[in-house]
Chain A
């Protein structure tokens, strides 16, 4: 793209923007239109600047309008996605840029390095799974960690503790005796802790599951016991077979047995009298695209065992047993509603 020398071009550009804003305000007078025509014809640089202003987003906006004519109703969705998915803002996060890389950045010149805490945090987490993927990891101390689909966790082991920070989703840990303490080193065993936004779950020699949701976390103890502590300091010991929710402040014991929540480690979703909304949320992590469920359908109660590697079949099984309709809009969007 050719561009005029900077100083003059900037002046002309600023004036062209002024004209554009005035003329598209919806209240420009005939006199203003005439003034504009005089300004435009006065100088080739004015015309160049004007063209550049006219070209702002012309192509993508044109494409969207074109599609909107065939499928009306796109514009609000487009606008909302561009404003809702907030663009990257500068938010420092540990470990994104190491010291040496930061120095090198200066030599790259253009561009910026954005920091995001959420999805990006998950992307750059130590352990990360995508859709329909689980991951088993052997941790440095010999403990085992299973990460469910669309989940992410950081592993921070130091001399004082073994910390696993669950950034998103769900994991199951099988905690080993601290190898460092075993070696007649005289060191005490380091505590093993899983941390979520809402609190921590500290192992007391054990196998347990932690799932993080938007405003609460679930801890299910499969063997031995676990000490819970919320962000606000509430504490509780969970025994084998017990489960509890933490919301940052309080700990609430789950009334039903929850051991089957770990069924995903065997590739199935074992559901016992749970709301369809929760079942669909769990299946969602195993399915590409988006599954939306109406509030009415989300309340239906579900029993069953569903294979996680075939969510299409799982949805069909739900249609066969529940008063629901499932509508697919291409491969990326599925809507579930009551009949």
Chain B
């Protein structure tokens, strides 16, 4: 383990942090969010492996920053989709701002976990895990066979479990 001062992230922070914030501002068109996302980007730098071999820190930083932007944008997209779905279901009431914040976090956690699964598998799995439907009910709801439901369930559970160990990840 290198002492902290020897980690390139420290040097990078001094030399490139301000530049990265400006780069993010330009992409986002929003000065406030950019500082947060720059912070997130440096957290990823700390987690990256073989960082000593990076020749062009700024190219590397923009690659990481683009991923941070992806998840930032994905989060906003999810929130919008949820509000839209809520607005279109007249019987649902809108939660308080506190509950809404918790809900958005939960949405994001589930979304990340299920990322990479086909839409039908996701739908079947959510009907099971969220709504507690039986396989027969899910089959009726989705117009597919019970065997398919069973296959989807196994696929989804294995997909989620394997992310814990990193086994079977792309």
Shortest B76–chain A CB gap in Å is 8
Option from A1, A67, A77, A123 in Cβ contact (under 8 Å) with B85: A77
B48 contacts A27, CB within 8 Å? no
In chain B between 111 and 170, which residues have their CB closer than 8 angstroms to a CB of chain A? Answer: 111, 113-116, 119, 122-123, 126-131, 134-137, 150, 153-154, 157-158, 160-162, 164-167, 169-170
Q: Produce 1/0 per residue, A257-273, CB < 8 A to B.
A: 00000000000000000
B99 contacts A71, CB within 8 Å? yes
In chain B between 74 and 127, which residues have their CB closer than 8 angstroms to a CB of chain A? Answer: 74, 76-89, 91-97, 99-100, 102-103, 105-107, 109-111, 113-116, 119, 122-123, 126-127
A84 within 8 A of B: yes
B28 contacts A130, CB within 8 Å? yes
A87 contacts B111, CB within 8 Å? yes
A56 within 8 A of B: yes
Q: Given the complex of chains A and B, what is the CA–CA distance between A81 and B119 in angstroms?
A: 12
Please give the number of chain B residues whose Cβ is less than 8 angstroms from any Cβ of chain A in the complex.
Answer: 84
A85 contacts B92, CB within 8 Å? no
A-B interface contact total, Cβ < 8 Å: 236
Residue ID in chain A nearest B103 by CB atoms: A67
Option from B78, B94, B100, B116 in Cβ contact (under 8 Å) with A81: B78
Residue ID in chain A nearest B96 by CB atoms: A330
B27 within 8 A of A: yes
Shortest B55–chain A CB gap in Å is 8
| With A73-B89, A75-B130: A21-B154 Cβ-Cβ less than 8 Å | yes
Residues of B within 8 A of A81 (CB): 78, 81-82, 84-85, 107
In chain A between 90 and 114, which residues have their CB closer than 8 angstroms to a CB of chain B? Answer: 96-98, 100-101, 104-105, 107-114
Residues of A within 8 A of B67 (CB): 111, 113
In chain A between 227 and 283, which residues have their CB closer than 8 angstroms to a CB of chain B? Answer: none
A119 contacts B77, CB within 8 Å? yes
Q: Given the complex of chains A and B, what is the CA–CA distance between A32 and B101 in angstroms?
A: 41
Please give the number of chain A residues whose Cβ is less than 8 angstroms from any Cβ of chain B in the complex.
Answer: 78
Residues of A within 8 A of B153 (CB): 20-21, 24
Option from B94, B111, B134, B165 in Cβ contact (under 8 Å) with A329: B94
Q: Given the complex of chains A and B, what is the CA–CA distance between A24 and B165 in angstroms?
A: 24
Q: Produce 1/0 per residue, B35-62, CB < 8 A to A.
A: 0000000000000111101101001101
Interface of B (DSSP majority class): helix
Residue ID in chain A nearest B170 by CB atoms: A112
Q: Which one of A6-14, A204-212, A213-221, A315-323 is at the B interface? A: A6-14
A83 contacts B109, CB within 8 Å? no
B66 within 8 A of A: yes
B10 within 8 A of A: no
A78 contacts B82, CB within 8 Å? yes
B119 contacts A83, CB within 8 Å? yes
Shortest A120–chain B CB gap in Å is 6
Tell me which of B54, B74, B77 has the highest count of chain A C-beta atoms within 10 A of its own C-beta: B77
A107 contacts B95, CB within 8 Å? no
Residues of A within 8 A of B103 (CB): 63-64, 67, 74, 78
| With A71-B94, A87-B115: A128-B29 Cβ-Cβ less than 8 Å | yes
B70 within 8 A of A: yes
Q: Given the complex of chains A and B, what is the CA–CA distance between A63 and B29 in angstroms?
A: 33
A61 contacts B129, CB within 8 Å? yes
A38 within 8 A of B: no
Residues of A within 8 A of B100 (CB): 330, 332
B63 within 8 A of A: yes
Q: Given the complex of chains A and B, what is the CA–CA distance between A282 and B79 in angstroms?
A: 21
Q: Can you name 5 extra interface pairs (CB under 8 A) apart from A60-B105, A290-B84?
A: A1-B164, A57-B109, A73-B91, A82-B78, A108-B49
The 6 residue pairs across chains A and B that have the minimum distance between CB atoms: A26-B134, A73-B92, A329-B94, A60-B106, A85-B81, A81-B82
